[in-house]
Structure 1
Amino acid sequence: MTDEQLPPPLPQPVNLPQPPPLPQPARLPDPGALQDPAQFQVSEETRTYPCPQCGANLFYDPGHNQLLCRACGHGEPLTAPHGAVGKRDLQQAMHQLAQRIAANEHGGLKSLSREVVCQNCGGTTSFEGTLTATKCPYCATPIQRNDLQQAPERLPIDGVLPFQLDQDAAHAKIVEWINSRWFAPREFKTYREFGSFTSIYLSYFTYDAQTVTDYAGQRGEHYTVVVGDGDNRHTETRTRWWPTSGRVNNTFHDVIEPANTGLDHKKVVELEPWPIQAAQPYSPQYVAGHLSRTYDEDAQQRFERGARGQMDEQIRTTIRRDIGGDEQQIHQVRTSFNALTFAQLLLPVWLMTVTFEGRPFQVFINGVTGEVQGRRPWSKVKIAAAVIAAIIIVAIVLLVVRLTR
């Protein structure tokens, strides 16, 4: 191709180096949906969602099953597939993943982090870590990264639970939650001035399993005896123990585990329960205009570090029920996991992050149910004032009591 045939360089944001000339974007078939309105950038391995009416950006409109242009109000119906989200055998999937990683050791994905050139304004956009959908910092164009989603060294996303809570509803939830924090500093309550509030899909793994557990333990039965003489005569409850063993079966469905790091894990867990049954097969259309991350810890890691513990707790409850009696002791447990399957899901969260006195505080909103969980700082001034007020009230009460005697 001669220089005359190349397209002119894209306009550059201030203080950014000139990117090399790019070929014109091409439309490619999307395996995840029919007639996807996305525009694909082959050179950058990214996709955007331009409005067909005005050229602005389309966003997934929570709760309305459409892509919406906030500039002209045009709505584009979703063409994403519907149906149940399939699950895969965990052991087989992890074995295949290890084989693909070995095969692509010298030619595969070099790094999770990557910079791409925005096809709208030419500015450089950074994808850090497992971030797969972001917005151009110069023109706010939503950009989705295809290479990480489809990399053979990564487990694919199986399903997505779409946002149902829009920005106005989420904002109202945040305001209500913050205003109910009586001892939060006044500055924290004005978070709009220095906080970030965004919608993001976080990565989760959900597991199904059938287990068979052999156990050995003891069954305790209470009985009473009368001991002592005279004034010391009394009844004591004692326990008679019997050795026992047996086998129990458990069935688990949708045991869910967060798969992203860098977040307040305890508060993320407290966003549960999630209506997993409403999840749909993954389509990037649901992510349009929202941030998104894939997993930081893979399906095997999250099973061993989280989901297995949840299952083990339920198994021990089943064992105690099987042992019966008044008390139970469990000495040995051997569990076989049969039909252990999983799926990677994207679940919707509204996230507020506020840095107060040099410390970050995160507040999360379940993007379907509206459940709010988070942490906030404590106002030393308000706490001191409350303590002083309490002391004054106690002193007044004591004075009144003394004067009325």
Structure 2
Amino acid sequence: MTQPPGDPHPPVPPPLPDTAGPTAPRSAAPPPLPSQAAPPPVPQSSPVPQPPISQSSTPDIEAVPRAPRASDRAMLHVTEQTRTYPCGSCGAALAFNPDQQNLACGSCGTTYPIIIDPQATLSRHDLQSTVQEIRALIPTGQEGNEHEVICQSCGGRTIFNGTLTATRCPYCATPIQRTDIQDSPERLAVDGILPLRVSEDHARTEISNWINSRWFAPSEFKKYRTLGSFTSVYMSYFTYDADTVTQYRGRRGDNYTVVVGSGEDRRTETRIRWRSVRGTVANRIRDLPENANTGFDAKRVRELEPWPMEQVTPYKPEFVAGHLSRTYDNDPMQVFTAAARPRIDSMIESTIRADIGGDHQQITSKQTNFSLLQFMYVLLPLWLLTVSFESRPFQVFVNGLTGEVQGQRPWSKVKIIAASVAVLIVVAVIAYFVWRS
């Protein structure tokens, strides 16, 4: 929030109810253009009604006065189509704290709990009909890859590239979220999120342990703190639910042994007895996650699985405050066709082979029908280290929930040659003493 010089405590706008969204634009922001449909400002003379509190609500919001909520801190900047979270105590920027699981001020330490509606549910969508509706809304001309906004705290200009939806101002480090993408009718709204649980210190420790265990990595690569970029980011995922029925034809092979030959040539051979089979199998698949972003090493990201999908919570933008976030690059049908369908087919094939039984199985044909095919749009967290070494980028990933590390690393030719020479010397010394003995 912009404040006059010498005023350490900027004015705090009154909170809005959770169901009404963020507050009106701050006074420091320029007024909206006549053509923009800006919401009227909240009247200052009358109190804002609070939503009814259910009996299952947490104790900190039952009584008045109550502790400030994270949602009270959201500032919607209509002219810039962005959202920030200023601290009500000192005006500094709030960020989601993975250790405390709330919004926290790094300046004064004030925290704001993130309240989840106990009645909120996770939405799942029919794949075919939803993708048709979304694609029908996409304009023919593609928009640019860059979107510039003015930071409402310091006035600096911030560039959102590609599918980036949350970042920090490069001048004052204020966390900024774009609202035009999440609220756009041709973009899917986020259904759920796995909030980040691994802190930066923990992630750096895991990264250091992983890099130090790469014996043949160049020494310069291990100086990643000065060579690379290390940040937290929420990736876009689609999770799929599918019920399938598959009819198949194939052959079952059973091993048997026979004795052949005579005399010294007498031996036992294993042979296969084949017979034709046919059958029907059913598969029930739930919460199959697939990454919807490009630019990542897909194999390494896949190795971060499994994700605890049973812990997905309804999405609230406060979980992303202070961290990078990306909307999807590929829509749910593209991700299903390229990634989810091959995995589902592999599961179906395993089920067929188990149904055929025997020692060997051959599947000559199969026909699969989907009685259910749904998806959910979720954000999953990770820490990403990108190191440029010898003009090549290397990515190392940390699972933002479990701390597991997967990544790429360069190989040191000097270390490999030195190790090879050392092995040859040891072998030569051993051979010499064997010869002398």
Alignment of 1:1-400 (within 5 A): 22-23=30-31, 35-81=71-117, 84-101=121-138, 105=140, 110-400=143-433
The one of the two structures with greater contact order (alpha-carbon pairs below 8 A, sep at least 6) is: 1
Of 171-180 and 82-91, the range deviating more from structure 2 = 82-91
1:399 and 1:134, CA in 2 relative to 1: closer, same or farther beyond 3 A? same
Cα pair 1:217 1:329 within 8 Å, conserved: yes
Task: Determine the structure 2 residue equivalent to 1:15.
Answer: none
Per-residue CA deviation, residues 64-120 of structure 1 (Å, 9 max, x unaligned), is 12100101111111134455522111112112212323xx558xx834531111111
| Deviation readout 1:347-370 (Å, 9 max, x if unpaired) | 010011110111111110001000
Q: TM-score, normalised by structure 2?
A: 0.83
Distance apart, 1:35 and its partner CA: 4.1
Structure 1 unpaired stretches of 5+: 1-6, 9-20
**8 A contact 1:120–1:141 mirrored in 2:** yes
Task: Work out whether residues 132 and 292 of structure 1, in 8 Å CA contact, stay in contact via their aligned partners in 2.
Answer: yes
The answer to whether the 8 Å contact 2:96/2:319 transfers is: yes
Instruction: Name the amino acid aligned to 2:400.
Output: G
Query: Secondary structure at the residue paired with 2:429?
Result: helix
- The answer on whether the counterparts of 1:115 and 1:125 sit within 8 Å (CA) in structure 2 is yes
Percent of residue pairs identical: 53
Deviation of 1:63 (Å): 3.3
d(CA) in 2 for partners of 1:326, 1:186: 50
User: CA–CA distance in 1 between the matches of 2:362 and 2:174?
Assistant: 60
Contact 2:150-2:156 within 8 A present in 1 as well: yes
| CA separation of 1:289 and 1:110: change in aligned 2, threshold 3 A | same
The residue identity in structure 2 corresponding to 1:55 is: G
One-letter code of the match for 2:152? Q
- After superposition, what is the alpha-carbon deviation per residue over 1:125-173, rounded to whole angstroms, capped at 9, x for unaligned? 1111110001111111111001111211112211110011111111111
Q: Deviations along 1:183-204, whole A, 9 cap, x unmatched? A: 1111111111121110100111
The one-letter code of the counterpart of 2:31 is P
Contact 2:70–2:114, Cα closer than 8 Å, also in 1: no
User: What's the RMSD between the two structures over aligned residues?
Assistant: 2.3
SS in 2 for 1:97: helix
Correspondence for 2:11: none
C-alpha offsets along residues 4-50 of structure 1, whole Å, 9 cap, x if unaligned?
xxx99xxxxxxxxxxxx822898789xxx994421010011110111
Aligned residues: 381
Query: Counterpart in 1 of 2:7?
Result: none
8 Å contact from structure 2 (residues 70, 113) kept in 1: no
Matched residue SS, 1:147 = coil
Contact residue 268 and residue 373 of structure 1 kept, 8 A:
yes
Instruction: Note if contact 2:70-2:102 (Cα within 8 Å) is conserved in structure 1.
Output: no
Quick one: distance in 2 between partners of 1:154 and 1:208?
21
Q: Name the counterpart of 1:13.
A: none
Task: Report the AA paired with residue 90 of structure 1.
Answer: L
For 1:36 and 1:85, how far apart are their aligned partners in 2? 23
Residues in 2 aligned to 1:81 and 1:172: alpha-carbon distance in whole angstroms: 35
The answer to whether the 8 A contact 2:70-2:112 is kept is no
Amino acid at match of 2:101: N
Q: What amino acid is the match of 1:93? A: T
Whether contact under 8 Å (2:70, 2:103) holds in the other structure is no
Quote the residue 1:12 is aligned against. none
The verdict on how the C-alpha distance between 1:241 and 1:140 changes in structure 2, with shifts beyond 3 A counting, is: same
SS at the partner of 2:180?
Answer: helix
SS in 2 for 1:116: strand
| Aligned counterparts of 2:369 and 2:419: Cα–Cα separation in 1 | 56
Displacement of 1:228 in angstroms is 2.0
CA distance in 2, matches of 1:67, 1:241: 64
